[in-house]
Structures are given as structure tokens and as C-alpha cells.
Amino acid sequence: MAQILKIDDALAGALALLKAGEIVAIPTETVYGLAGDATNGEAVARIFEAKGRPRFNPLIAHVAGMAMARRIAVFDPLSTKLAEAFWPGPLTLVLPLAPGADIHPLVTAGLDTIALRMPQGFGATLIGRLGRPLAAPSANSSGRITATTAEAVAADLGDRIPLIVDGGPTPVGLESTIVKVDGQSLRLLRPGGIAAEVIEAVARRSLLREPGAGVEAPGMLASHYAPAAAVRVGATDIRPGEAFLAFGAVPPEMADAAVAVLNLSPSGDLREAASNLFSHLKALDQRGAATIAVAPIPARGLGEAINDRLNRAAAPREVTTGRHQAS
């Protein structure tokens, strides 16, 4: 069972666990978050594992201070104005990922944008001391209700995480408002702790709320993730010209036949495979093969989300881009 510590006693223990790549439930002003080092792929994979999320949707990276924020995302005058007005606080900004940002691709689900927020209180202190951003979705298992007390986190996730930091009931009790800054326009991706009208007053423009805008959020659109190469899942052989995304032991004849090989996890560890998924797909895509053949991935645990992502990449595409010919 998770240890539960009051915020005044929890800082050193939480820091040690986060530095070791573990995950910790922490109070924020919105709801309890399940936090892991956003630069560490295995830590981020642990978040998905503990929540039992069936797919890799992008996570919010939490920062302390504008210097850290600017190393991660590109701020234009409009996003700077919103950050100055509402941070620290329950506003999440979706911004272009900064070149060379030290953020693991599992946090952004391979997108070139990032959701950023600067929290108040214990989270801010923790991130400042760690010196690294924390990825932190709500601390509840997938499909369960969001937790706003340490007791609720313990009842749901207590047997899956080492530490819950108890800061009492969270003051806002709602998730953050998510706004995507798109040039001069602002889009409301998720209503939350700061009312849209308040944001509109500061930004001096209205928030766009196209139907379906939220779809963009959890990676519902296969096109966001589509590599230029075609993807063939469940591959047990290699056809001419294919690159190979392996898992576990690689049969020598498959290694020999492939134009390039990368292994998600030579030991067959799903957490390691999750943390390598986006970077390996991208790297193989950049090798220019027409098709990436992917070894079968077990459907248990994180395998469900890994297979979801791969099946999306393998799905027939409506628009033909890159080297892949829709069939």
C-alpha cells in the first residue's frame, strides 16, 4: 500500500522517489495529480500503467517558473500575456514544443505541441526542487472519478503507487482549463477551473469552441500520429524494403531482411517498450522505408495502449501523404 504523508513531511520522500523514476500522487490546486518526471520515459510509462489507460493521450507538463516553461515551449506575446495573468493557476496552455526541449515523447504522445501548466503550492515547490517538469494527469484509474482528496487517491490507486502526498481537499476541485494558442486565435480544448469569460477578458478575444475541437486533445485523430511510412502490425516476417520495429528477441532472419531494425524492448518489458514507442517509430520513419513492420506486442498491461497507438498508425489513411500509398 502507498505511504500517505502530509505535505509538511513529504518533500524529501517525494523528491527521492521522483528522482528514482517513480511516480507520486500529489495535491495541486485543481485535483490530485499522478506525477512523474516528464523527462524520464519509464516514469511516464508508469503513469499510464498505474492509471490503466487504454491509450497514450498526451499529458500536461507541470513547471515551476517561466525560465523552465520557456525551455519547453515557444511563447508568443499572446501566450506570454496569458501566462502572466493566470500562472501559477488552473490554466493549461497548449503551445509549440521548443526545439530541443527535454521532454520525453510519451508526454506529448509524439506531437509537436505541449500542454503546459504552472501549479501553485506543494507541486510548485516540488518541481522547483527537482528542477525538472512533472507530467501529471489526474490521480485516478482510467474511467474512475477524479480524486480531490488523498483518501480518494488511496482507495483507487493505493496498491499501485508508493506515495500519496496529503494536502487536504484540493481548493478548485476541477481540472484546469485547457486553451490552445494557435497564432492569434485561442481555442478552448477543455473547460475547467478558470472560466472562459475570464480568459477572454484578459486576451481581448473570444475563445473558439468549434465542435470537435476537444477531439484533438486525447489523440483521437490518427493523422496526428501517422508516420510517412506505412505500418504493418503483428509482423512475423520481413518483406522486401521493410524496416523492423522489434519487441523481445529478434529472429536473425528478420534482422537480416530488414533495411533497419530498432527494438522497443529486447527483454520484452512493456514499460520500456512504451517509453521507446514514439522515438523509435520516428527514427525508423526517418530511415525512409516504405513500410515499418512491427512485431506482435502482448495485449496485457501497457500493451493495450501500445497496440492502440500502432493500430492507429497502421489504419488506412484518408489522405495520402509521404511515402505511404493508401490502399
For binding to ligand AMP (CB under 6 A), which residues are involved? 57-60, 94, 108, 111, 113-115, 137-138, 178, 189-190, 216-218
Residues 6+ apart with CB under 8 A from 58: 107, 108, 109, 111, 114, 115, 217, 218, 219
Size of the site for Mg ion (CB under 5 A): 1
Instruction: Please report how close the Cβ of residue 293 comes to Mg ion at its closest, in angstroms.
Output: 35
Minimum CB separation of residue 9 from ligand AMP in Å reads 26
Least Å distance, CB 73 to ligand AMP, is 10
Q: Choose the one of Mg ion, ligand AMP, none that binds residue 68, judging by a C-beta under 5 to 8 angstroms depending on kind.
A: none
Q: Does 79 bind Mg ion (CB under 5 A)?
A: no
- Contacts of residue 305, Cβ cutoff 8 Å, sequence gap at least 6: 48, 53, 54, 55, 56, 274
Of 11-19, 108-116, 134-142, 285-293, the window that binds Mg ion (rule: CB under 5 A) is: 134-142
Question: Which of 174, 217 has the CB closer to ligand AMP?
Answer: 217
Question: Which is nearer to ligand AMP, 31 or 289 (by Cβ)?
Answer: 31
Cite the beta strand spans of 145-184 per DSSP E.
163-166, 177-182
Among 97-105, 135-143, 225-233, 286-294, which window interacts with Mg ion (CB under 5 A)? 135-143
Query: Quick check: 138 binds Mg ion (CB under 5 A)?
Result: yes
Strands 113-117 and 91-96: antiparallel
CB of 149 to ligand AMP, least distance (A): 17
CB of 112 to ligand AMP, least distance (A): 8
CA nearest to 268, candidates 279, 260, 276: 276
- For the bound state, the minimum distance from the C-beta of residue 311 to ligand AMP, rounded and expressed in Å, comes to 19
Q: Are 264 and 272 in contact (CB under 8 A)?
A: yes
Residue 60 interacting partner from ligand AMP, Mg ion, none (CB closer than 5 to 8 Å by kind): ligand AMP
| Cβ closest to ligand AMP, residue 3 vs residue 149 | 149
In one-letter notation, the amino acid at residue 221 is L
Whole-angstrom distance, CA of residue 191 vs CA of residue 2: 31
The interface region with Mg ion, picked from 35-43, 132-140, 224-232, 314-322 by CB under 5 A, is 132-140
Our CA angle for 14, 20, 21, nearest 5°, is: 95
Closest distance of CB 178 from ligand AMP, Å: 5
Q: Which amino acid is at 152?
A: A
Q: Are 233 and 294 in contact (CB under 8 A)?
A: yes
Q: How far apart are CA 254 and CA 148, in angstroms?
A: 50
d(CA 155, CA 326): 47
| Cα atoms found within 13 Å of the Cα of residue 135, Cβ hemisphere only | 29
Give 246's strand partners: 263
Instruction: Using the minimum distance from each CB to ligand AMP, give the nearer residue, 59 or 297.
Output: 59
Q: Which is nearer to Mg ion, 35 or 273 (CB)?
A: 35
CB nearer ligand AMP, residue 38 or residue 114: 114
CB of 135 to Mg ion, least distance (A): 13
In the structure grid, which three cell numbers stand for residue 184, read together? 492569434
Q: In terms of CB distance, is 66 or 217 closer to ligand AMP? A: 217
Which residues on neighbouring strands pair with residue 36, listed in sequence order? Answer: 135
- Helices 196-203 & 77-86 angle (0-180, nearest 10): 130
Q: Closer CB to ligand AMP, residue 61 or residue 264?
A: 61
Residues that bind Mg ion (CB under 5 A): 138
